[in-house]
Amino acid sequence: MTVGPQDTFHNYIDGEWTPCHSGRTFDNINPADTGDIVGRFQASAAVDAQAAVAAAAAAFEGWRALAPSRRAAILNRAAEHLEANADSIAAELTREEGKALNLSKDEVLRSAQTLRFYAVEGQTFTGETFPQDDPDMLVYSQREPLGVVTVIAPWNFPVSIPARKIAPALITGNTVVFKPSSDAPLSGYRLAEAFVAAGIPKGVLNFITGSAGDVGAAITEAPAVRAISFTGSTQAGEQIHRAVPMTTRTQMELGGKNPLIVMEDADLDKAVDLTIKGGFSLSGQACTGTSRVLVVASVKAAYTERLLARVRTLKIGSGMTPGMDLGPLATRKQLDNVLRYVEIGKQEATLLCGGARLTGGDYDKGYYMSPAVFTDVTQSMRIAREEIFGPVIAIIECADYADAIAKANDTEYGLSAAIATGNPRYIHRFANDIQSGTVKINRTTTGNLVNAPFGGLKRSSTSTFRESGRTGLEFYTQIKTVYRGC
Ligand code: NAP
């Protein structure tokens, strides 16, 4: 059944689907057709958020005492639910966020894969034993859950990002308060629903919608919250990080300004392909999206010519229409912000194509723009330094490998970086030289595996704990060291 303005979605607190105290709701808007309301959600306030934290705190002892195999069974059943409903959840994701339907489906299935991964890995994640001199003593470390964990997610991956936070939190025995983005709350609701369908005990997972201004402090600054896993803008992440008590552990996965280096020996068609996929899929709204292309001078003209030829063929339309290369931007705020950066770029550099709001026909209903390519970009320009988070590529000329690395690293961010080259010397050196948490060689800056660590360096992350993979479990546990004599 298609969700619409007649559907009001509740919070899930202490095992009950409940409206917020004020009874107020907000609308979830389809960015491809802004007249389409994809359900109404609770405009919660601090009092609702406090109830969610209290429920999670009350459920903690019971959940940590539950056998890991039973916790794992719940994760597996939630994964089954996501898989069984992947088509409908994906269609809703596309409707509320704008990305292509096939990408939404991939995301839902990858989220199920994440739950299954942690159901296995979490059961073998433990401490160590330490050799020592006393034959009558055993020294070992044990890992324990932290308590209440707050999970805050952005709109661009509204299922997979919370899934990779909630699954390791739950399997290690923590309880969770989950707040999705106000711009894509339905996907988060469906994820919470999967856990409810899987039989999660009351209070163990609490789902609350509402604006950051209304519920943010209550779910981040409360003393009962022992850890916060946040993905979103650097500005918001740093603000939360500064505001929380010292005893609250934080994992902040934040913005990026990701470079692709194109060397003189690169296969230029492949380099163009990496640029298009990395820079324009998801309409440039991936944290790991390519936004700077650092091209060695000798191939700059040829690369730029081939890139423009490809950009002109890109199809822009609703994510529901098969074959579209770019969908709408996710929100009005996103569109305005990206167009503002295009204007800034026009003052600083040379706009080669795109960068305009699209109008006429179905475009009038949504937040569509043409992908922009700038050239003659230099390091000091704002479009070379600030995260734009849209379909905008800045081409920067480099003299050689050393110059390209220096320019790539000349940024406050360090999330993902790629190089296009066949030269074994560059391939060998790149992983060491680049200041980035994810390093790609002849691959797009975007994309990461469920079973490998993910996270940024510099202002892209708190750089404390990594997400994803087995490493992703570390954030959710604390270590005790035990000296056991006879
Ligand atoms: P955002 O505005 O920072 O919001 C992210 C989430 O945080 C939303 O749920 C938001 O709630 C909430 N929030 C904002 N301020 C808060 C506060 N003070 N206290 C508690 N919650 C708060 O980011 P966005 O626009 O959704 O996402 C785009 C950003 O995310 C980009 O900068 C992108 O690079 C980054 N991102 C990073 C990664 C990564 O892994 N490094 C992945 C994806 C996206 P409301 O929706 O209610 O405002």
CB-based contact 92:312 (threshold 8 Å): no
Amino acid code (one letter) for 78: A
**Is 253 a known active-site residue?**
yes
In this prediction, residue 42 carries a pLDDT of 98
Task: Say what percent of the chain tops pLDDT 70.
Answer: 100
CB-based contact 94:104 (threshold 8 Å): yes
Place of tokens 């690169």: 266
Residue identifier of the C-alpha nearest atom 23 of ligand 1: 232
Residue identifier of the C-alpha nearest atom 43 of ligand 1: 287
Selection from 82, 296, 94 nearest residue 194 by Cα: 82
Atom of ligand 1 nearest to the CA of 180: 9
Complete edge-to-edge strand list for the sheet that includes strand 350-353: 350-353, 372-375, 392-398, 290-296, 258-262, 416-420, 438-441
Cα–Cα distance, 335 to 34 (Å, whole number): 13
In this prediction, residue 1 carries a pLDDT of 78
Q: Which of 160, 238, 250, 287 for a ligand 1 pocket mutation test, highest count of atoms within 8 Å of Cβ? A: 287
Selection from 111, 225, 209 nearest residue 162 by Cα: 111
CA–centroid distance, residue 34 to ligand 1 (Å): 22
Strand partners, 141: 481
**Rounded average pLDDT over 88-99:** 98
Contacts of 363 (CB under 8 A, 6+ apart): none
In this prediction, residue 362 carries a pLDDT of 95
Instruction: Say how far residue 256 (Cα) sits from the centre of its chain.
Output: 11
Structure tokens at 164: 């990779």
Amino acid code (one letter) for 99: K
Cα–Cα distance, 311 to 458 (Å, whole number): 32
Residue identifier of the C-alpha nearest atom 47 of ligand 1: 211
CA–centroid distance, residue 154 to ligand 1 (Å): 4
In this prediction, residue 69 carries a pLDDT of 97
CA–centroid distance, residue 231 to ligand 1 (Å): 6
Q: With cut-offs at 50, 70 and 90, classify the pLDDT of residue 246.
A: confident
Selection from 242, 162, 174, 255 nearest residue 475 by Cα: 174
Q: Which of 181, 251, 291 for a ligand 1 pocket mutation test, highest count of atoms within 8 Å of Cβ? A: 181
CA–centroid distance, residue 358 to ligand 1 (Å): 26
Q: Which of 44, 48, 156, 182 for a ligand 1 pocket mutation test, highest count of atoms within 8 Å of Cβ? A: 156
DSSP 374-415: EES--TTSHHHHS---SSEEEEEEESSHHHHHHHHHSSSEES
Q: With cut-offs at 50, 70 and 90, classify the pLDDT of residue 463.
A: confident
Candidates 253, 387, 397, 474; catalytic one: 253
The predicted-structure confidence for 251-267, as pLDDT tens digits, reads as follows 999 999 999 999 999 99
**Rounded average pLDDT over 346-352:** 98
Selection from 266, 279, 232 nearest residue 446 by Cα: 279
Cα–Cα distance, 387 to 384 (Å, whole number): 8
CB-based contact 247:404 (threshold 8 Å): no
State the first-to-last Cα distance of the chain, in angstroms, to the nearest integer. Answer: 64
Atom of ligand 1 nearest to the CA of 210: 47
Contacts of 155 (CB under 8 A, 6+ apart): 97, 181, 183, 184, 330, 331
Amino acid code (one letter) for 230: F
Q: With cut-offs at 50, 70 and 90, classify the pLDDT of residue 464.
A: confident
CB-based contact 151:205 (threshold 8 Å): no
Give, in order, the Cα–Cα distances in Å from 352 to each of 128, 285, 323, 375: 57, 21, 25, 7
Cα–Cα distance, 185 to 162 (Å, whole number): 11
DSSP 201: P
Instruction: Say how far residue 123 (Cα) sits from the centre of its chain.
Output: 25
In this prediction, residue 479 carries a pLDDT of 97
The predicted-structure confidence for 380-413, as pLDDT tens digits, reads as follows 999 999 999 999 999 999 999 999 999 999 999 9
In this prediction, residue 48 carries a pLDDT of 98
DSSP 325: S
Atom of ligand 1 nearest to the CA of 237: 3
Task: For residue 425, give the 3-state DSSP assignment.
Answer: helix
**Is 287 a known active-site residue?**
yes
CA–centroid distance, residue 175 to ligand 1 (Å): 21
Candidates 96, 97, 107, 287; catalytic one: 287
Q: For each of the domains in the chain, give its residue range(s) and CATH number, in order of start.
A: 5-254+461-485 (3.40.605.10), 258-450 (3.40.309.10)
Ligand 1 residue neighbourhood (C-beta within 6 Å): 152-157, 179, 181-183, 211-212, 216, 220, 231-233, 236, 239-240, 253-256, 287, 387, 389, 415, 456, 460
Task: For residue 416, give the 3-state DSSP assignment.
Answer: strand
Cα–Cα distance, 218 to 52 (Å, whole number): 9
Selection from 171, 186, 166, 202 nearest residue 97 by Cα: 186
The predicted-structure confidence for 321-333, as pLDDT tens digits, reads as follows 999 999 999 999 9
Cα–Cα distance, 327 to 242 (Å, whole number): 36
CA–centroid distance, residue 236 to ligand 1 (Å): 7
CB-based contact 392:292 (threshold 8 Å): no
CA–centroid distance, residue 87 to ligand 1 (Å): 26
Residue identifier of the C-alpha nearest atom 19 of ligand 1: 216
Selection from 122, 188, 18, 96 nearest residue 474 by Cα: 122
Atom of ligand 1 nearest to the CA of 240: 18
